[in-house]
C-alpha cells in the first residue's frame, strides 16, 4: 500500500464523522418540520433563525461527501456557530436569564414559552443547542483526524 492509498483509508474516518454530522443535521431538520407541520407547534423568531442555520447543512454536507472534500468545514462552520449562538441565546431566554425587554419575540409567538418538553428540562431550544454542539464537535474531530492523517 503506497502513501496515497494509506491517506485515503485513513481519511475514511473523517468521512464517517462528516457523514454523521450530516445525519444529525438531517434528523434535526426532519424533527423541526415534524413539530411545526405535523404537530402544529408555532415557530418563534429564534427558532426560525436556528432553522436558517441548520437547513443548508442538509445540502452542503453531502455535497462534500461525494467526492470527499474536507474544505466544506470552512463553509459550514459559520452556520454551525451562528446556529449555536442563537440556540444558546434561546436557552437563556427560556430559562429567564434574558430580560423580557431584550427578547426579540414578545408579540406573536413568544420565544420564552415552552411548547414541548421531555423529562421537564429537555425542550426544543435545548435540543437545538445539543444538535449544533454535536455537529460542531464532529466537524472539529473530522478536521483534526484529516489533518493528522495527511501530515
DSSP per residue, 93-131:
HHHT-S-GGG-S--SSS-TTS---EETTTEEHHHHHHHH
Q: How large is the average pLDDT for residues 40-62?
A: 90
Task: Look at the chain and report how many structural domains it folds into.
Answer: 1
Q: Is the pLDDT of residue 108 over 70?
A: no
Question: What pLDDT is recorded for position 116?
Answer: 63
| pLDDT at residue 6, as a whole number | 47
Q: Which three cell numbers stand for residue 119?
A: 423529562
Whether residue 67 has a cis bond before it, omega within 30° of 0: yes
- The domain in which residue 64 lies consists of 3-150
Amino acid at each position: 500500500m503506497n502513501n496515497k492509498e494509506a491517506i485515503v483509508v485513513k481519511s475514511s474516518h473523517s468521512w464517517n464523522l462528516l457523514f454523521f454530522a450530516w445525519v444529525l443535521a438531517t434528523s434535526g431538520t426532519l424533527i423541526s418540520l415534524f413539530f411545526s407541520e405535523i404537530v402544529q407547534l408555532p415557530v418563534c423568531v429564534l427558532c426560525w433563525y436556528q432553522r436558517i442555520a441548520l437547513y443548508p447543512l442538509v445540502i452542503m454536507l453531502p455535497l462534500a461527501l461525494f467526492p470527499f472534500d474536507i474544505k466544506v468545514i470552512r463553509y459550514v462552520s459559520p452556520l454551525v456557530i451562528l446556529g449555536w449562538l442563537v440556540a444558546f441565546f434561546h436557552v437563556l431566554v427560556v430559562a429567564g436569564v434574558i430580560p423580557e425587554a431584550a427578547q426579540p419575540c414578545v408579540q406573536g409567538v413568544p420565544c420564552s414559552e415552552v411548547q414541548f418538553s421531555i423529562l421537564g428540562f429537555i425542550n426544543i431550544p435545548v435540543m437545538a443547542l445539543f444538535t449544533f454542539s454535536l455537529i460542531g464537535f464532529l466537524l472539529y474531530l473530522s478536521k483534526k483526524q484529516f489533518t493528522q492523517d495527511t501530515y
